[in-house]
Structure 1
Amino acid sequence: MRNALTVDVEDWYMTSDFSFDPSTWDQYEDRVVANTMELVNLFAHYRVKGTFFILGCVAERHPELVEEIARQGHEVASHGGWHQMINTMSLDQFRADLLYSKRILEGITGKPVRLFRAPSWSITPDRYEALKILAEEGFHCDSSLQPFRTPLSGVAGAPHTPFLPILNDEQLELLEFPPTVMKKAGVTVPFCGGFYLRSLPTWFLIYALRQVNRERSGLIYVHPWEVDPQQPRLPASPLIQFIHYYNLNSTKKKLERLLQRFEFTTMGEIIASRGDYPPIALPALAGGR
């Protein structure tokens, strides 16, 4: 069973943990190229391809990085323009941000960009119309609906397997591919990336993905800054310090263990390997935010 290997390409100071205004980003050390190449080289060592969801602003600043990702056979996808939470933007702002990233990425690679992931899984029920905009602008797949709630985002009750969203009785021409969770006794257990991957023991990550693979392909995700224990430490609340910096020195080792034990490929390859995704109505607003 093959699983989707995905990377959200953003720098350490661009995250929703700190929520710095983009106008201040030039004050911080740029580490995204070295950290992303750490992952590119790791994937090359294990001869696997992945899907890189790249911020438009990162691509514009470092076109050579996007070129190298594409040259090595990885799939280039959009992570939006400036890592802004979709549920804090108007729909017009979202469309402009989306098209900025699409234009930059396609201009570098010369290929259509068809996959999207919202920063911090931030398409919530009051921004479902963003999915319709994605379909209108030529995207074939979204990976933004986190099927559980956190203080930041997520959609309680959303399907935990890929599906075709129905919005206001209209089936969208878009596949939704949520982050993978393990379902046990009615409990949703996130494990597949980010803080969950860093905080959970390796044996549990292997166990959970094996459980998922009994029925379907899974998806894992990582950020380049998560393989960078030497990144600057900034003053923040104890909670933010914990969420952002905890166990950074474990990320690469855990990824290697997963790469050694499971088969991985791009999200596009996973999608193409199956053609019968079910249409499912999106959960109502009351079931989400």
Structure 2
Amino acid sequence: MPDAQPMPMRNAMSVDLEDWFHVGAFENVIPRSDWAGCEDRVARNGDAVLALFDRVGVKSTFFTLGCVAAQHPGLIRKIVAAGHEIASHGWDHKRVFTLTPEQFRADLEQARAAIEDAGGARVTGYRAPSFSIDARTPWAHPVLAEAGYTYSSSVAPVRHDHYGWPESPRHIWRPLADSPLIELPVTTARIGGRTLAAGGGGFFRMLPYAFSRWAIGRANGMEGRPAVFYFHPWEIDPEQPRVAHAPLRSKLRHYSRLSAMEGKLERLLKEFAWDRTDHVVARQAATL
């Protein structure tokens, strides 16, 4: 009999479950006081993401805003029933470096309660809004550990005008010597001495598909590590409202190539092997 082929490495697929008006690109033009008047599209887009995953047979992690879970418990129940992981994305997308440790602790508690109440499943994973755990928040990982989280996927080891911790490790690491808490950074690629974002979102939408394919293949092959990929439900919604008074840079980041996103995602989901983030973390923890 021929030798059995090795199983492909399973990468971490994740969805940051938030609506189009929650995003950091619009935080200075759509105040939270106006959110109630914005068109709510997260449920329909969440259903579209679930349909996509079901079509290609992929399980994922939904890093969920607590305010979304409180408003759409039916969507959270659908996510859990389909076999996906629910995890926390904070309460209402406040960046961690804008909070005090006490505010962060309260944000975690409020979000987790809403998500667990809606889904009936335990929340053990966390992703900071806009990857906002960085060198300015040395207290963030200790607070997560105290709150009983198993892992965080909150660090982007790049330089970026909105976020980034370029000095942090590019692959899975333990931020605390006295805790099993694991940090699983979003995927990056090293090119010409520079570290580039390669884990999804706007970079995936706007850059050629070949770049993401190369970066994930390199992570799996040469580096021997799973990729960590993310996207947002609003990224497959080209019909979403336009914010006319937003800065040009914000509009370019948010609206570019929305119509191409779902097709690119489906190709990526079929080309590589994917799994929930908690499952990937559990397998990788043995390597630390």
Superposition TM-score tier, normalisation by shorter sequence: over 0.9
Which of 7, 13, 18 aligns to 1:5? It is 13
Which of 99, 115, 120 aligns to 1:110? It is 120
Matched, 1:228 2:237: yes
Following the alignment from structure 1 to structure 2, what is the Cα–Cα distance between the partners of residues 218 and 251? 19
Q: How many residues align?
A: 275
CA positional deviation for 1:277: 4.5
TM alignment of 1:78-157, pairs within 5 A: 78-157=88-167
Task: State the SS of the aligned residue for 2:229.
Answer: strand
Q: Cα deviation per residue 1:27-68 (whole Å; 9 max; x = unaligned)?
A: 110000111111110000011100000000000000000000
Following the alignment from structure 2 to structure 1, what is the Cα–Cα distance between the partners of residues 220 and 34? 43
Percent of aligned pairs sharing the same letter: 39
Following the alignment from structure 1 to structure 2, what is the Cα–Cα distance between the partners of residues 153 and 3? 23
CA positional deviation for 1:133: 0.7
Task: State the SS of the aligned residue for 2:175.
Answer: strand
Matched, 1:258 2:268: yes
Say whether the 8 Å CA contact 2:14–2:60 is kept in structure 1: yes
Partner of residue 31, structure 1: 41
Partner of residue 182, structure 1: 189
Following the alignment from structure 2 to structure 1, what is the Cα–Cα distance between the partners of residues 150 and 133? 16
Partner of residue 173, structure 1: 180
Partner of residue 208, structure 1: 215
Q: Cα deviation per residue 1:128-180 (whole Å; 9 max; x = unaligned)?
A: 211111110110100111101211111121101000013xxx44331000000
Matched, 1:268 2:273: no
Structure 1 regions of 5+ residues with no counterpart?
279-289
Matched, 1:244 2:251: no
Task: State the SS of the aligned residue for 2:14.
Answer: strand
Structure 2 regions of 5+ residues with no counterpart?
1-8
Matched, 1:47 2:57: yes
Q: Cα deviation per residue 1:69-108 (whole Å; 9 max; x = unaligned)?
A: 0000000000000111111111111111110111111122
Following the alignment from structure 2 to structure 1, what is the Cα–Cα distance between the partners of residues 70 and 77? 11
Following the alignment from structure 1 to structure 2, what is the Cα–Cα distance between the partners of residues 111 and 205? 32
One-letter identity of the residue aligned with 1:275: A
TM alignment of 1:8-23, pairs within 5 A: 8-19=16-27, 20-23=30-33
CA positional deviation for 1:21: 2.7
Say whether the 8 Å CA contact 1:228–1:249 is kept in structure 2: yes
Following the alignment from structure 1 to structure 2, what is the Cα–Cα distance between the partners of residues 275 and 240? 37
Following the alignment from structure 2 to structure 1, what is the Cα–Cα distance between the partners of residues 136 and 218? 33
TM-score, with normalisation over the residues of structure 2? 0.92
- CA RMSD after TM alignment: 1.2
Task: State the SS of the aligned residue for 2:205.
Answer: helix
TM-score, with normalisation over the residues of structure 1? 0.92
